Structure 1
């Protein structure tokens, strides 16, 4: 009788069983972790939207007037090189609010992290074409994120009562940050973009809201205190 084969077989069986158990445990853990993560994202999104929904206006006739509007920046073009409708509709809404006396002055807050990318200047140029004078615009070159734009509005530009101008989905997060920072804010919802065009942006916003809560309650990042433009040498 070959006892070696019997011994080898008996040794392999427990190893296979352990391997199967590890795989099953890994699958269960992954499912549980994914489910928990999804629930956290959903709860955070509900919390942000629920706590700001009464501060967002869709009808310009119902919007109270404020001296200052904070315009949140975005890229003028999408990755394919086509026009970014978020940008276009946001600028059109801003120009309309100014022309109808809903805001007197504008803080254009966006990303200018290199000399080749300048959201505030792009916004300024677009608004000038829409009939808004540069004399009512202040450019915030360090609005790298929504958190930075809102906090700097108070800490750098000394504004504590503002109208935030962006699309509805974005306004909720900005308002939540503003509320926590002691800013008396309302928001006007610019025209949204067609369904399908904005799927990637909306998914990103769903993930950004939980991160905003981390910023507000845990991380407390410190935005830049200065305000200078990174521009090409002339």
Structure 2
């Protein structure tokens, strides 16, 4: 019985210590990642907006979270708060392309192609920020993402040596599920990656002052039509179209369901 109580006390102590570490690291990220606002008018001019990737649905449409991030990046560009747009996300497989989807939406919305840069290796938030600094030479920027993710994004950007502001893109309610709980652990991972200097993929330089088209890479091969639906070839979807905006949002082009699995990598 005594031994069981000792084991329980030891286990409780370990759990308590872990909880304190998690709490401390979250407080660190929240403190160092302050600065997000929800009004474009409150943003000072910066050379570039870094628009963070989120889920693209199997039919090629952007999830609601991703569409709203793109919409806010476009709003910044249209009122000359930024000169360039850097879209960064997961393009680890040819058939899954966050960056190309965002880029096509922005170009269709009227942004000159030379002003849209793509980072196809933004597999997580730290990779995006480190590559923005190293590959694209970004020193000052506006980060665009949802509010629950903003503190971590700003923390990692500042740790990468970028002077950043944050514009939140919460233009509608989202079905985030366990997203907020995951963010608690993601902040711990963010600090760990900074402390350990976790490796980030490099690449040839694409200065943000140049022509964004040089960062686009080869075109994504078209997805072949399903044998079960031969008529699909005659009416292909428009994967880069933006969802119809919420009532008060910047007009653009339709999102998928208002959820975003993997939105806060």
TM-score, structure 1 length as denominator?
0.80
Taking structure 1 as reference, are residues 137 and 199 closer, same or farther at Cα in structure 2, changes over 3 Å only? same
Taking structure 1 as reference, are residues 129 and 44 closer, same or farther at Cα in structure 2, changes over 3 Å only? same
- Residue by residue over 1:145-191, the C-alpha shift from the partner in whole angstroms, topping out at 9 and shown as x without a partner, is 11110000010011111111111222211211222222111111111
What is the CA–CA distance in structure 1 between the aligned matches of 2:218 and 2:8, rounded to whole Å? Answer: 50
Taking structure 1 as reference, are residues 232 and 25 closer, same or farther at Cα in structure 2, changes over 3 Å only? farther
Structure 2 matches for 1:1-80, cutoff 5 A? 21=3, 23-53=4-34, 55-77=35-57
Please name the residue that 2:221 is paired with. Answer: 232
Q: How many residues end up aligned between the 2 structures?
A: 212
Taking structure 1 as reference, are residues 160 and 83 closer, same or farther at Cα in structure 2, changes over 3 Å only? closer
Structure 1 counterpart SS, 2:40 = coil
Q: How far is the alpha carbon of 1:231 from its aligned partner? A: 3.9
1:191 to 170, 181, 204: 170
What is the CA–CA distance in structure 2 between the aligned matches of 1:182 and 1:87, rounded to whole Å? Answer: 25
Give unmatched runs, 5+ long, in structure 2: 205-214, 224-265
Please name the residue that 1:13 is paired with. Answer: none
Taking structure 1 as reference, are residues 30 and 60 closer, same or farther at Cα in structure 2, changes over 3 Å only? same
Please name the residue that 1:7 is paired with. Answer: none
Q: How far is the alpha carbon of 1:113 from its aligned partner? A: 0.8
Q: How far is the alpha carbon of 1:83 from its aligned partner? A: 6.0
Q: CA RMSD in A?
A: 2.7
Kindly name which structure, 1 or 2, has the bigger radius of gyration based on alpha carbons: 1
Q: 1 or 2 for the larger relative contact order (CA 8 Å, sep ≥6)?
A: 2
Matched, 1:168 2:157: no
TM-score, structure 2 length as denominator?
0.71
Please name the residue that 1:114 is paired with. Answer: 93
Taking structure 1 as reference, are residues 230 and 208 closer, same or farther at Cα in structure 2, changes over 3 Å only? farther
Contact kept? 1:72, 1:108, Cα under 8 Å: yes
Q: How far is the alpha carbon of 1:193 from its aligned partner? A: 4.9
What is the CA–CA distance in structure 1 between the aligned matches of 2:117 and 2:61, rounded to whole Å? Answer: 27
Q: How far is the alpha carbon of 1:82 from its aligned partner? A: 8.8
Q: How far is the alpha carbon of 1:138 from its aligned partner? A: 0.8
Contact kept? 1:111, 1:144, Cα under 8 Å: yes
